[in-house]
Amino acid sequence: MCIVILAAVAILCPPLAVLCHLGCDGLVCLNLCLTTLFYLPGLFHAWYILFTYRNVYYMQPVIAAPMMTAPVATVMAAPVVSSPVVTSPVVASPVMASPVMASPVMAAPVAPMNDIDFDVKPERDEQFAKANLAAEAKEQEAEGDAPDSDDGGAQVQVVEPRVPKFSGPTNDRQKAVVDAMKHSWKGYRDYAWGHDTLKPISKGYSEWFSTGLTIIDSLDTLFIMGMDDEFADAKDWVEQELSFDKDKYVSFFEATIRLLGGLLSAFHLSGERIFLDKARDVGGRLAGAMLSPSGIAFSDVNLKTGEGKQPAWGGESSLSEVTTVQLEFRDLARVTKNSTFEKLAFKISEHIHEIGCGDHGLCGMYISPATGKFKSGSTITFGARADSYYEYLLKQWLQTGKTVDWLLEDYKKAMDGMQSQLLKNSVPNNYSFVGELLGGTTFSPKMDHLVCFLSGTLALGTANGLPKEHMDIAKKLGLTCKKMYETATGLGPEIAHFNEDSSKTQDIYIKPLDAHSLLRPEAFEAWFYLYRLTGDKQYQEWGWEAFQAIEKYARVEHGYSSVQNVKRIPVSYKDMMESFFLAESLKYLYLLFADDQTMIPLNEYVFNTEGHPLPIYDH
């Protein structure tokens, strides 16, 4: 036995050491050597782990810009799940996640792999070959002679964007919106530059992600409006100051739609490579949230380590948090030629499709990352915590060139369920609204401002072959959203309730705790789609009335502020200018007022739920 061990040391350790020298982490190599010495029957697994790790590490495409500052982000960007041989939940387990975390977590031993499926050996060998090519490319890059590809030298590393042209404002209403954007930007530039959001009353700032959120969320709005100087200023900050190497937990969903979505959109619209480099960086870090036991994403993720976790208040993720990241990660996968991003995110959608949401196609608002099951008795809503799941069913279908039939079928089933279970008319004026099912069973005539998105989504569907009935509902909901703005200030509340009692004469009532306005975009988004697809100028008039109310009651000396109560004059302020006011509200108003309604064509781009346009693909 001693002779066998010595022979193994003499024969196997040198090549392992060489391979480790080429880029594997030291602790991984130590585990491999120990496995080799003391567990020779597991030798095949050890070699498999080694090459899979190298495949993961070098799976990122070779781009001229520097690699990510932290290796963890690169690893997290292409976890082992991409390998066709890994079909079991082992990939998503917390134990498997540990080798790709930051150094404190790296001390965990390498977890044993499941048995390899030899039927897919040719595919695995091809992956290993590509990994070796990528490793060679990395070595050549270090020597200053890197090829522009990790696929045999072919020029396929990055899908170049289709850069559209924007002429700037062409009428007085658009110019007024640009002035509002400049006023917002100046206040942020003066008092919150490099921080997440502006506090315009106190001339301060607040932090959420500590990543200059307002800058990233505003990039495409600045570009579309022709604010070239401000865009150049923002680009310089992104290039010179932006770092995602922050040891803090952030919302996986919010960071994906705002940071990743904003950077990708800026790349596609401007063609500036720095935005893609930063998108790849943050995407790699955020992807760790999807490494859960079930594949359902954790709510929070650490930007530095890529570790996902649930917040202290609960063990479930909300439906919208886990099903509203697919547009962004698919686009990142396509432009970087790294399919792992798309596979991880789309696996969540596939899981929801497989377990189903009942006969009516409407899902509960909470789902567990641990079990992959919906929480029983949770509310069914098209408002907060569920809204954009339905939006992304349609938009994923569009983004993939209308090639994934079950996305469309799930969307149609959900719209049928919405009509039969949630769509009601108020008394006495028959305003259509979408309520909720509390506990999944009890109807509540409550409608969030967020639900106004549904009007635009339904309208978009009819432009792509969905029933004319959907446009009729879209128009009715668009009108209801307009009625929500008929307040003392002309601003819409966060939540409205609708009357079903024939003895009362007021259709809409607003509770005191629901009366604030964050200057949300969903009504403007709805009217943009309705005007774009019908040409009815009443939607422009509604948008202009709402914009004038914003100017009158939300504009302050150093920006725009959320309002405490839309029913009271004089108004009091919440001292917060949300990043989505610049990213969405002003963008949708600008597009609504455009003379050229072919700007950002809806058959070429799909807007993510934060208002960032991303290209449509043919597959």
Q: Quick one: CA dihedral 66, 72, 76, 81, positive or negative?
A: positive
User: Who contacts 403 (Cβ-Cβ below 8 Å, separation ≥6)?
Assistant: 618, 619
Nearest Cα to 286, choosing from 37, 68, 485?
A: 68
* CA 546 to each of CA 278, 360, 521: distance values in angstroms, whole numbers, following the listed order: 35, 35, 11
Amino acid at 192: A
d(CA 304, CA 350): 28
Residue 560, SS3 per DSSP: strand
- Give the torsion through C-alpha atoms of 325, 327, 329, 334, to 10 deg: 180
CA 607-612-618 angle, to 5 degrees, is 50
Dist CA 74 CA 55 (whole Å) = 11
- How far is 598 from 600, CA to CA, in rounded Å? 6
Q: How far apart are the C-alpha atoms of 167 and 242, rounded to whole Å?
A: 29
How many other CB atoms sit within 10 Å of the CB of residue 380? 25
What one-letter code names the amino acid at 559? G
Please state, as a whole number, how many other Cβ atoms lie within 10 Å of the Cβ of residue 158. 21
SS3 444: strand
Q: For tokens 């409205």, what's the residue?
A: 496
- Amino acid, res. 589: L
User: Could you tell me where the DSSP H helices lie in 450-502?
Assistant: 453-462, 468-484
403: enclosing H helix or E strand: none
Q: 609 among the known binding-site residues?
A: yes
Residue 145: phi and psi, rounded to 5, are -135, 55
Question: Would you name the residues annotated as active-site residues?
Answer: 254, 387, 494, 522
Q: Which of 566, 573, 570 is nearest to 489 (CA)?
A: 566
Which residue blocks in 201-292 are alpha helix, DSSP H?
A: 213-224, 228-240, 252-255, 261-270, 273-286
Angle 564-567-573 (CA atoms, 0-180°, nearest 5)? 20
Which residues are CB-neighbours of 358 under 8 A, at least 6 positions away?
none
Task: Please report how many Cα atoms fall inside a 13 Å half-sphere around the Cα of residue 153, on the Cβ side.
Answer: 2
Cβ atoms of 279 and 211 within 8 Å: the answer is no
Of 253, 171, 182, whose CA–CA distance to 218 is shortest? Answer: 182
Q: 485 and 403 in contact (C-beta within 8 Å)?
A: no
User: Can you spell out the DSSP letters for 107-154?
Assistant: TSPPPPPPPP-GGGHHHHHHHHHHHHHHHHHHHHHHTT---S-SSTT-
Q: How large is the greatest C-alpha to C-alpha distance in the chain, in angstroms?
A: 95
- 344: three-class secondary structure by DSSP: helix
CA Rg value for the chain: 26
Annotated binding site: 609
Annotated binding site for Ca(2+): 609
